[in-house]
Amino acid sequence: MARWTNLSETTFLMRPTHPEADYSVRIFTPGGELPFAGHPTLGSCHAWVSASGVPINPDRFVQQCGVGLVSIRRDEGRLEFAAPPLIRSGPIDDIALAQIASALGLSVSDIVHHQWVDNGPGWCAVMLDSAEKVLSIKPNWVALSSFNLGVVGPYHAGCETAVEVRAFVGSEGCEDPVTGSLNASLAQWLIAAGLLRSPYIASQGTALQRAGRVYLRQSAGDIWVGGEVVDVIKGEISI
């Protein structure tokens, strides 16, 4: 089904097996299964509610997926999910960092901060000194093939968005327009390190002529990741 639709992610909603979960979801790309992703999380919750799903707790929804339980709630009309814990963190080693810099057409000195920010899809991330430098990147996909890489850089004070984000999926040789899982783990890193203040808005997709906006904030120790969810198409499949 995921290969047939050829969408970046296709989800399948099921009854949960965990007693605290409202529903369970499995997330597939055309090439395989993901333990977690941001767009499928918010979109699946929206679909579940639209199909008359009623949560156990009226204040939030609980999704069961490959990384465990993920909390989702509404804020100012948007759905937002609590970022799952990182399964890998810490600095990127010198050899990998040099490979990343070369693949982006940069020198290692252009990278002002770096970190593993893996919450399931394998993300690592580098921070540059400006959003403009992020937007100027023309990646060497062959050299990036072993990395799922996020690149982030700040906008000037007074801009609508705090940072520009780009997500390079090296294993597939493509750039993702907007990436909930990456923005979630970036916020965990950047806010904890004092590199960004909560709340902030991330811009993503500009290089692909998209105007993605991801809303991030810290609340009671959790990072919440929000965005707009709308119905685009509905249909039925006859088998």
What is Dmax (Cα atoms) for the chain? Answer: 56
Whether residue 199 is preceded by a cis peptide bond, meaning omega within 30 degrees of 0, is yes
- Cα(53)–Cα(44) distance, integer angstroms: 11
9 is catalytic: yes
- Bridge pairing between strands 123-127 and 148-154: parallel
Please state, in angstroms and rounded to a whole number, the distance separating the CA atoms of residues 212 and 86.
24
C-alpha 167: how far from its chain's center? 9
**Tokens representing 156?**
């000037």
- As a whole number of angstroms, the distance between CA 27 and CA 74 comes to 22
Catalytic option among 9, 33, 132, 175: 9
Active site amino acids? 9
